[in-house]
Amino acid sequence: MKSLFFLIVFGSLPLAIFSQSPDETVIGEIFDNVLLSDKAYRNLEYLCEYTPGRLLGSEESVTALEYMKSYFEEMGVDTVFLQEFKTPAWRCNNTAVTILSGEGDIILRADALGPSPSTPGEGLVARVVEVQGLEELKTLDSDTIAGKIVFFNKPVNLKLVNTFQCYGSAIDQRYHGPALAAEMGAAGVLVRSVTTKHDTFPHTGSTGFEDRKIPCAAISTVDADILSDALKADNNMQVKMVIDAEDLLEITSFNLIADIRGSVYPDEYIVVGGHIDAWFNSPGAHDDGIGCVQSADVLRIFKELGLDNKRTIRAIMFMDEELYQSGGNAYTDYTETNGIKNYLALEADAGGFTPEGFTVDATDSIYDKIAGHKDLLKPYGIHYIRKGGSGVDIGPLKNFGVPLMGYRTDSQRYMDIHHSANDSFDKVHPRELQLGSGCLAAMIYLIDTHGL
């Protein structure tokens, strides 16, 4: 009886193997390759260790571009080049925020928001007005705000399951708060870090000034509670802000572009990319060093496996997603000027955690075609392909009818580390990173093979 059982089981194995479709076979080979490779992981280690704080215009940003360019050259891609563009930039040299108290000053952990102006050399000293968001500030009169430091202390909504939605629940006070406070005559702004984590790491980010700019900084959630408690004890207490920052009116910067040429439709480009820049306070591991090394890994996978891509696969390391989004706009201008046909663009900028799915911003017919690949990717962690946004860098391409996609991962840990010094290499699990490379490569293989 046992002999018959083993005969049935093992006799069926060749049938199961040979019943695989060509797509299943290739996708299996992609994941076999990627799960045995550490090249993307080691590239990320270099970026985090040697180019932390690689904000637009920094020396670190240039070093990061040069490193990845050398990697593509060693890989033997068909084309690799730096796409030059002009843009404003901003630099932060120092941030210090202190509660002034007769019982002893209290240093708050803070990082300037970009592009905050500097305080006067001796610093800005003022009383503090605490508000729970933009709407509360709007209820106050200008006399209450004039000359004060406005402290936005609205926390994220932790009841929301998706942490990108948590982030969205409080991001308005960071982005729009300083401009509104400036309009009402405030001297400066402090913002509770927009994060799901209660810790001592300040989380910076961009803010949208209009006419008048005032010094502004994010403080950690722990320090926000310290400041709030201090205000309850003494509503007349003062805070000192010292920010040393500078606007750079125009610099030369670059996107890094690498291609492996298509064999049938070489003038049609499937774009995969992430942004190489990171905030001045951060190693930029998950945001978005991972998106860059995964995109580079797509080209490595195609070359090592000898996959015959019909269309040109283009990996882009975009510069300046964080501050002015100049790199994404520059690439769109470049493609328009040169008549480049972007067949599809896919961005990886949601961290390097466990794969979850893809979002698609395209016509119904294109969406249906892409969504039809879900079953092939389900064994590797892709649980959904649904309509949704893509990414900041590729967003401008939508105006030209380019189908856009975003790669999505488990979001629960992302906002804990986002835009902070805590976004470090040790927070990255190599298998999660590598699975992401495989998911990107597999999706691009399917789109290239079957078209849209």
Count Cβ atoms below 10 Å from residue 382 Cβ, excluding itself.
Answer: 22
* Mean pLDDT of the 439-451 span: 98
In this prediction, residue 226 has a pLDDT band, given cuts at 50, 70 and 90, of: very high
DSSP 286: I
Distance CA 145, CA 436 (A): 48
Token reading at 129: 């007005």
Give the domain ranges of the chain: 29-78+261-450, 94-246
Reported as type and span, the H/E element at residue 89 is: strand 79-100
Task: Give one DSSP letter per residue of 361-399, joined into a string.
Answer: ES-HHHHHHHHTTHHHHGGGT--EEEE----TTTGGGGG
Query: What is the pLDDT, as a whole number, of residue 18?
Result: 52
* Mean pLDDT of the 115-131 span: 96
Q: Determine how β-strand 404-409 pairs with β-strand 341-347.
A: parallel
Q: Give the pTM.
A: 0.94
* Mean pLDDT of the 308-329 span: 98
In this prediction, residue 16 has a pLDDT band, given cuts at 50, 70 and 90, of: very low
Residue 14 pLDDT more than 70?
no
Residue 390 pLDDT more than 80?
yes
Bridge partner list, 386: 359
DSSP 400: G
- Chain-centroid distance, C-alpha 223: 25
Q: Write out pLDDT tens, residues 145-163.
A: 999 999 999 999 999 999 9
* Mean pLDDT of the 385-407 span: 97
Query: What is the pLDDT, as a whole number, of residue 236?
Result: 93
- Chain-centroid distance, C-alpha 364: 27
In this prediction, residue 1 has a pLDDT band, given cuts at 50, 70 and 90, of: very low
Choose among 28, 26, 47, 113: nearest CA to 352.
47
Q: Is 277 exposed, middle or buried (0-12, 13-18, 19+ CB in 10 A)?
A: buried
Tell me phi and psi for residue 314, to 5 degrees.
-115, 120
Q: Does residue 6 or residue 122 have the better pLDDT?
A: 122
Q: Where are the beta strands (DSSP E) in 105-214?
A: 106-108, 110-112, 124-131, 149-152, 188-192
**Taking a C-beta distance cutoff of 8 angstroms, is the pair 71, 296 a contact?**
yes
Q: Determine how β-strand 124-131 pairs with β-strand 110-112.
A: unpaired
Residue 144 pLDDT more than 60?
yes
Task: Look over the chain and give the mean of its residue pLDDT values, rounded to a whole number.
Answer: 95
Burial per residue of 151-173, b for 16 or more beta-carbon CB atoms within 10 angstroms, e otherwise:
bbbbbbeeeeeebbebbebbbbb
* Mean pLDDT of the 394-410 span: 98
**Which overall architecture, per CATH, does domain 94-246 show?**
3-Layer(bba) Sandwich (3.50)
**Taking a C-beta distance cutoff of 8 angstroms, is the pair 346, 439 a contact?**
no
Distance CA 45, CA 428 (A): 10
Query: What is the pLDDT, as a whole number, of residue 313?
Result: 98
Token reading at 85: 């563009």
Burial per residue of 286-310, b for 16 or more beta-carbon CB atoms within 10 angstroms, e otherwise:
bbbbbbbbbbbbbbbbbbbbebebb
Q: Write out pLDDT tens, residues 23-65.
A: 999 999 999 999 999 999 999 999 999 999 999 999 999 999 9
Distance CA 113, CA 197 (A): 19
Fold classified for 29-78+261-450: Aminopeptidase (3.40.630)
**Taking a C-beta distance cutoff of 8 angstroms, is the pair 361, 398 a contact?**
yes
Q: Is 365 exposed, middle or buried (0-12, 13-18, 19+ CB in 10 A)?
A: exposed
Residue 445 pLDDT more than 60?
yes
**Taking a C-beta distance cutoff of 8 angstroms, is the pair 351, 331 a contact?**
no
Query: What is the pLDDT, as a whole number, of residue 2?
Result: 43
Q: Is 185 exposed, middle or buried (0-12, 13-18, 19+ CB in 10 A)?
A: middle
Residue 411 pLDDT more than 90?
yes
Q: Is 7 exposed, middle or buried (0-12, 13-18, 19+ CB in 10 A)?
A: exposed
Distance CA 282, CA 52 (A): 6
Choose among 146, 126, 144, 124: nearest CA to 136.
144
**Taking a C-beta distance cutoff of 8 angstroms, is the pair 186, 214 a contact?**
yes
